[in-house]
Amino acid sequence: MTTRHLSRRAMLLGTTGIAATLLASCGSDKKASDSKDAKGTEKAAASAGSGKTIEHNKGTYEVPAEAPKKVVVMDYAWVDTFEALGIPFGALPKKHLRGPAEEKYKADQWVDAGAFREPNLDAIASYGPDLIIVSGRSASQYDALKKITPNVIDVTPDAKDFIPSLNKHVTNVASIFGKEKEAKEKLDVLNKNVEETKQLIASKPGKGLLLMTSGGKATAFGPGARFGGLVHTTLGVPAVNETFADARHGDAVSFEYIAEANPQYLFVVDRDAAIGKDGQSAKQILDNPLVNKTDAWKNNKVGYLDGRRWYVNGNGLTAVNDMVNEVKAVYSA
């Protein structure tokens, strides 16, 4: 081989080496960028964003120019909200479906995303989602779902600031799908109902006790806790006790305690009925000589709240308005 050919070959090898170095550098930069995205703002799938960024409980999300088409909704409260706003979605957890919802969503056109706390990650990944909504129970799966797509948002309302928090999350999610008008109309109705109910409650003397029954026993919820965030903190029902433990399933109370607390208004969530578990109903559990002594019982001011609505769909846009109406009905009777 001539010197001329050797020189030319060396030039080609040198050029190839530079190109390989550049490609390696680009790959390294991409990994660093991906790592940064995973910790900070989630990047939307669309190549060109809308220029709007919304906040959720675990970070921010860049709203894409085109609305996501493959959406997983991991919480029934947000299934309720998506239905109310007319937003389509293609996957949800089917394990906990009951009643009309089960009949509607059992069809194969909706991907079965498993359970709230045990999502079917393989099925969700095969679906190829553009966006995953988590809230409430499913929020614990945020990190696992982020391995499928960076576009996961946690929109669990804050029980201590329930209605403002719900307004914020509904408005933000609606903006992703161009449903701001519909969201405002629904929220205006809800907010008006909340204010009217607060005024009604403020005009009635007496304190209330919020209970959940299950397995023949009762637990109580105070201000700022689950359920209590709406009843006490938002609607202003004075609590017989403001120091109940902020436990997800309530603070255990005896029938003797209920009699001593003597609530003028009693609100009851039947957990067993909500999850389809056999056992005594809330009415049967509370119909005993001790609870019968309370002013609430004697004056027919006991509200048996819809278990499915409160326990399972409690943050849904339609459900919350119905829940406000249930509390209002106790004061209107």
Provide the CATH number for the domain around residue 255. Answer: 3.40.50.1980
Looking at the fold, whether 127 and 197 belong to one and the same domain comes out as no
> Could you tell me if residue 140 is inside a domain?
yes
Looking at the fold, whether 227 and 311 belong to one and the same domain comes out as yes
Looking at the fold, whether 208 and 274 belong to one and the same domain comes out as yes
Q: Return per-residue pLDDT of the chain as tens, 333 residues.
A: 433 343 443 333 344 443 334 334 444 444 444 443 443 444 433 334 567 999 999 999 999 999 999 999 999 999 999 999 999 999 999 998 987 888 899 999 999 999 999 999 999 999 999 999 999 999 999 999 999 999 999 999 998 899 999 999 999 999 999 999 999 999 999 999 999 999 999 999 999 999 999 999 999 999 988 889 899 999 999 999 988 978 788 999 999 999 999 999 999 999 998 888 888 999 999 999 999 999 999 999 999 999 889 998 889 999 999 999 999 999 998
Looking at the fold, whether 131 and 192 belong to one and the same domain comes out as no
Domain boundary among the residues 107, 133, 156 is at: 156
Looking at the fold, whether 224 and 321 belong to one and the same domain comes out as yes
Domain boundary among the residues 106, 136, 156 is at: 156
Looking at the fold, whether 127 and 253 belong to one and the same domain comes out as no
Domain span at residue 243 reads 187-332
Q: Give the Cα separation of 61 and 293 in Å (integer).
A: 53
Q: Is the dihedral of CA 54, 58, 64, 66 positive or negative?
A: negative
> Could you tell me if residue 166 is inside a domain?
no
CB 267 within 8 A of CB 323: no
Looking at the fold, whether 204 and 152 belong to one and the same domain comes out as no
> Could you tell me if residue 205 is inside a domain?
yes
Looking at the fold, whether 141 and 204 belong to one and the same domain comes out as no
Place of tokens 């109705």: 189
> Could you tell me if residue 1 is inside a domain?
no
Q: Give the Cα separation of 138 and 29 in Å (integer).
A: 33
Domain boundary among the residues 103, 136, 156 is at: 156
Looking at the fold, whether 145 and 195 belong to one and the same domain comes out as no
Q: Give the Cα separation of 235 and 250 in Å (integer).
A: 19
Q: What SS3 string covers the chain? A: CCHHHHHHHHHHHHHHHHHHHHHHHHHHHHHHHHHHHHHCCECCCCCCEEEEEEEECCEEEEEECCCCCCEEECCHHHHHHHHHHCCCCCEECCCCCCHHHHHHHCCCCCEECECCCCECHHHHHHHCCCEEEECHHHHHHHHHHHCCCCCEEECCCCHHHHHHHHHHHHHHHHHHCCCHHHHHHHHHHHHHHHHHHHHHHHCCCCCEEEEEEECCEEEEECCCCCCHHHHHHHCCCCECCCCCCCCCCCEEECHHHHHHHCCCEEEEEEHHHHHCCCCCCHHHHHCCCCHHHCHHHHCCCEEEECHHHHHHCCCCHHHHHHHHHHHHHHHHC
Q: Please give the tally of structural domains in the chain.
A: 2
> Could you tell me if residue 41 is inside a domain?
no
Counting Cα atoms < 13 Å in the Cβ hemisphere of 199 gives 6
> Could you tell me if residue 293 is inside a domain?
yes
Looking at the fold, whether 328 and 220 belong to one and the same domain comes out as yes
> Could you tell me if residue 238 is inside a domain?
yes
Helix axes 180-202, 317-332, angle to 10 degrees: 20
Model confidence pTM above 0.85:
no
